[in-house]
A and B are shown apart, each in its own frame.
Chain A
Amino acid sequence: MSKKLVSIYIEGRKIKVPEGYTVIEALWDTGHDIKRGVGCLSGLCGACAIAYLEKGSKRVRFGLGCQTIVKEGMNITVMPFFPSRTANYIISEMGKPIEKLREIYPELDTCKNCGFCTIACPEWINVSKVMKLLKEGKYEEATEMMLDCILCGLCASRCPYGIAPQFISLFVQRAISHEKPFPENLKKRLKEIEEMKYDEEWGRILQMSDEELVEFCKRIREEA
């Protein structure tokens, strides 16, 4: 492993760490006892959001600490959490939850589509477009775009109006899925189980000797 060191600033403190480290590794290396800002270490859980300024750059950037490699002169702060408003609701007890969208999240319409949220997203989601689609009632399309959202909260941290796009879209995702017609294939299978279609066979399976079970499973798989 390379021994070359780079100088970086972590939460304002200048410190040297080996080249090639991620921000999380640099934090470990410098004795930070981080629990808040670490999770899957695969860029999926959203716990390690960071803001950083690269040497010579005029713009603060955002990313994930486990996926960002430190560079000479980089200035970094960890943002494991940003206060965002979440509404209260029980989806399964709402008749048509999507109709309640504006009651639950009235701030949706205060969005001016300035695009700051999009710039912050480490998952490269066009959050601003998602918000536009939500305002226009194009819920399916918006939900599709937000499947990649890891709830890191960076979009909300940049919103000048204090909106939390990640939670508004999550409500919409749940609301429209809840309202979809119940799938026929699942309905059929549940009915079969309810009518105890398989119970007799289960009874036999539980009684079989080990050898019989091996034979049985082999046969079932060959029949298919």
Chain B
Amino acid sequence: MYSENLLENMELVEKTRESREKQQLPILNEKKKEKLLSSFHPDYRLSGFRALRVGVNRGDRTVHEIADLLEAFSSFDYREINFEKPDLETDVLVLGGGGAGITAALFAHSAGAKVILATKLRLGNSNTIMALGGMQASVSENDSPIRHFADTMVAGKFQGRRELVKAMVDDGPSIVKWLLDLGVNFDRDEKGNLLTKKAGGSIAPRILSIGDYTGLNIIKILKDEIRNRPEIEILEFAPAVELTTNEFGECNGAILFDLERKRFVLVKAKSVILATGGSGRLHIQGFQTSNNFGATGDAIVLAYRAGAKLEGLDSFQYHPTGIVYPDHMVGVLVTEAIRSLGAHLVNSKGERFINELETRDVVAAAMIKECEEGKGIKTPSGRVGVWLDTPVIEERYGKGFLKKKFPALFRMFMRVKINIEKQPLLVYPTLHYQNGGILIDEKGETTVKNLFVAGEAAGGIHGKNRLMGNSLLDIFVFGRRAGLAAARRKYNEPGKQTLSHLERYYQELKSLRITTVAKTPRIFQEYIVGD
């Protein structure tokens, strides 16, 4: 239910709906796009960034929220741990229980390795669940892996690494086969072919989906599959807080923190796969986020202290349509498909201000511009947003269309007595995806030997902007590659577990006279509720 002042402004949205439908907004030329981005996109806001002072990427630009975590001592005291006596030993240790982690664990197990999977929350609780829209894979007749490659490179402004992009698009079709074999029910057409939909920035229809619940349904099946492989040991509510290395600086395990027993668990492993996801919950530049509660960038902290190189951590994706009203839904995503179908973005004067089919970064920048120039709509709690006029779609495609096509969205708002068939939604860009991360090679291995990364934590694939649907593909492709490569390390001699990399890192901090102690890795963001 909307508040009084919002209902008042909404009248204007209703009044202008008809005239807006007749309007054609041009796609901006490159020059105008660049100007809009450099003036209003958060990635271009100089005050939000600084150069790192420590570690392998010294001098590289990143956001303060990540630099703060990297330029600090951990608040954990590891002196009580006996490194001679690990609590658990395994071949492969997978950190993270989302799509990438479960996939890595399944493949490492199928290759004959002993596997332990540790995760911060409940198994499966991850951003994968919230990947509603779908997964890219070039399976349709008028598509090819090469076309998928070209789209991905262009979207990433040629900052993605071509060998990684090739690996991703090339594995796409076989990943789809793997998922089908597991019993994933991708939507089909009348002939039984996989149904492919078009997405922004893609030249061929390439999005595979399961209704508007793609990620959720894949995760349910992956969880069911790993549950049926009892040899894989699963530790829930046990986030990793540090990696361990041997005398050669190779990764050989991790320290977990059992959240309920409140004590450390030392795991010795021949290889480690980091699959703990992105960093939306760091609320970079103060933005609301669409991310899961656990997405606090832990992988970056752990890997960086162990000496792994990072790449592209100056680029984040802000999804244009994050909810700003009601308060408890702030940051929750409204799928891009709503805009693809023709919903308008409308300012407080009842005007459209950008072609809604521009890429995510451009639309987000245009929305921020409207709000900063005073043409946003203010909520009772002081947030600002613009209208996403959903009733336009209902009028265009007929009554009942939204409810039928977007049952999840419809229900989500009916719970708070907002009927998206009749009333628009109030939205503002929401922090959605970490475009960069820990640099990997085609095997998924980092610059630290025996340390692998898969999923959003990995860097080097998506460049400066990720194409819709590529994240769901990348987690399975690199989850599999990392899982298989890590399993082959099972004859490794892991050596003695130490924290000497951390000592070196701390020395560097000290020599720069940095004395900050922070909760790093963050594990959970502390939400001060109340005002």
Chain A residues packing against B (C-beta within 8 Å): 1-3, 18, 20-22, 25, 28-29, 35-36, 38-45, 47, 66-67, 69, 80, 86, 88-92, 123-124, 143, 147-151, 167, 170-171, 173-178, 180-186, 188-190, 193, 198, 201-202, 205-206, 210, 213-214, 216-218, 220-221, 224
Contact = CB atoms under 8 A, between A and B. Distances in A.
Contacts of A184: 191-193
B328 A148 contact: no
Contacts of A171: 224
B173 A180 contact: no
A206 B162 contact: yes
B394 interface: no
Contacts of B328: 20-22, 25, 66-67, 69
Interface in B103-145: 121-122, 124-125, 127, 129-130, 138-142, 144-145
Nearest to A122: B415
Interface of B: 121-122, 124-125, 127, 129-130, 138-142, 144-147, 149-151, 153-154, 158, 162-163, 166, 170, 173-174, 176-177, 180-185, 188, 191-194, 196, 203-204, 210-211, 213, 216-217, 220-221, 223-225, 227-228, 230, 237, 259-260, 290, 292-294, 327-329, 331-333, 380-382, 407-408, 411-412, 415-416, 524, 527, 529-531
Contacts of A20: 327-328
A147 B217 CA distance: 7
A170 B220 contact: yes
A185 B193 contact: yes
B188 A35 contact: no
A206 B163 contact: yes
Given A170-B220, A186-B177, A190-B173, A123 B129 contact: no
A147 B193 CA distance: 20
Given A47-B122, A47-B125, A67-B328, A193 B188 contact: no
Contacts of A29: 529-530
A83 B236 CA distance: 16
A174 B225 CA distance: 10
**Most chain A CB within a 10 A radius of its CB, from B144, B183, B412:** B183
A41 B150 contact: no
A67 B415 contact: yes
**Most chain A CB within a 10 A radius of its CB, from B142, B225, B333, B415:** B415
A213 B204 CA distance: 20
A206 to B, nearest CB: 7
16 contacts: A21-B328, A25-B527, A39-B292, A40-B292, A41-B332, A43-B412, A89-B228, A148-B213, A173-B185, A174-B184, A175-B183, A178-B180, A183-B180, A183-B194, A185-B194, A198-B145
A162 B183 CA distance: 26
Contacts of B411: 123-124, 148
B158 A25 contact: no
B193 A183 contact: yes
A91 B183 contact: yes
Given A18-B529, A22-B328, 20 more contacts: A1-B381, A25-B328, A35-B237, A40-B125, A41-B331, A42-B329, A43-B412, A44-B129, A44-B216, A66-B328, A91-B182, A91-B183, A91-B225, A148-B411, A173-B217, A180-B180, A182-B180, A217-B153, A220-B147, A221-B147
